Amino acid sequence: MYKYVIEGSFPLKGRIKPSGNKNAALPCLAATLLTDEGIVLKNVPEIEDVKIMMEILKILGSRVEKLSHHDYRITTGDIKQDTIPLELSEQIRASILCAGPLLARLGRVFLPPPGGDIIGRRRLDTHFLALKELGVRVDIDGLFILQVNKLIGAEIFLDEASVTATENATMAAVLADGITTIKNAASEPHVQDLCNMLNQMGARINGIGSNILRIEGVNKLKGTEFKIGTDFMEVGSLIGLAAVTRSELEIIDAAPQFLKMTKIAFGKLGIHWETDRDNIRIPPGQELKVLPDLGGMIPKIDDAPWPGFPPDLISIALVVATQADGTILIYEKMFESRMFFVDKLIGMGARIILCDPHRAVISGPTRLKGNDLVSPDVRAGMAMVIAALCAEGKSTIHNVYQIERGYENLSARLKELGAHIERVPEA
C-alpha cells in the first residue's frame, strides 16, 4: 500500500498527454470475447482496473500479449469457463461487462455481484431487464445465473440511460438473431468507442452517439485494430488542477469535442482555456470568480447523462468552487454517496454546507490547509490530490490504490509538471 505526500501552493507548468479512456478500455476489452480472432487495442491506460479486467480475460481463456506501452493484442479462441472469478469480480464494476459477450459466445454466464466505487446504490436491474428482452433467463442463487438458448433481437427501452447496461445489451445484440433497437441508450464517448470498435469487427450498429441504437445481428465478428479515445474525465481533472494552482498547462490530444458541457460548467467558476486543434492550453493566473445567473441569482453545477456535465467531474468542480470568489450550488443528481468526502475539504478549511447527500453549497475563496486524507474512490481521490496541491503546507493521502485505479502513473506525471508530490510506502 502506498500514500501520497504533497506540499501544496506550488504552480505547475508544462505539457501533458492524458491517458486512454478507462471507461472505453474496459468494455472494449470485454468485447474481445465476442470473436475468436485477435483484437489489437491501442492507447490502453496502464491502470489497476484494466489490469484486473485482463486477468479476468486470461482466466476465461484469452491470450493477452503486450505489444508495446499501451498496446495489446487479445485473442480468445475457446472460452475455458463460464464463471467470472469472485475475487476479481468484486474488485471492479466492469466485470459485469463480460455478461453480454459470454451469453453471445456460450449462451450462459455465472456472475458474482460486481464491485467498484462506493458512490451510492448502483443498480444492476437495467442490465438484466435489457438482457431478458433478448431472451435471457436470469436466476439468482448467490451468483447471477444468466442463460439463453438463442439470443433474439428485440425492441428494448432502458429504464435509465445506464452506460454499462447499454454496453452489455449492445454486445449481446450484435450476435443476436434479427434486429435490436435500444431506446434511452447511453451515448457517452466511451459507449461510442465501443460501438465503433464493434462495427470495425463486422457488427452493424446505427445511431452511434444518439439515444437510439439500431443493431442488426450478424453471425460472426472478426478481429480488428482499434485505438481507445482520450480520457476526457482526466482532461477535466487536469483543467481543474491547473485552475486552482494558477498554473499554465497544455494538454495534448485533449479531445476538445467532448468538453463542451465541461466548458460551460467550469465557466461558471471563471475557468477558461484556449483550443488549438486537438490540444488545449489553460492560461496561468486564472481569476476564479463565480458567474451569477441572470438577476444575480446563485448558479448551480449539476450532472446528467451525456451530453450533460459528467458526474465523474462533480468532485473536481467542488474543489475548484472552494477557490472561486462567490457562492455556488453543486448538485450531484446521480449518486447519493459521491459527496460524502466533503467533510475532508471542510477539515482543510473549505466553507461548504452539505445540504443532503446530493447538494452542497460552497462559498469561496478559502485558503485550504494541508491535512491527513483518505481516498474513498477514484474521483474523490483525484479531487483530494487537487485540493492538496493548492493548499498551504503538507497533506498526506492514504489509500491511493483507489486513485490509481483510474489515473495512470499519476504522481510521476505530476512531478514532471513541477508538483511537489511523493508516492511512498505506508509504514
CA 192/CA 293 separation, integer angstroms: 33
CA 166/CA 183 separation, integer angstroms: 9
Note if 117 is an active site residue.
yes
Give the CA count within 13 Å in the CB-facing half-sphere of 349: 15
Q: Which of 117, 303, 312, 377 is an active site residue?
A: 117
Cell 472460452 -> residue: 79
Three cell numbers, residue 150: 438463442
| Active-site residue list | 117
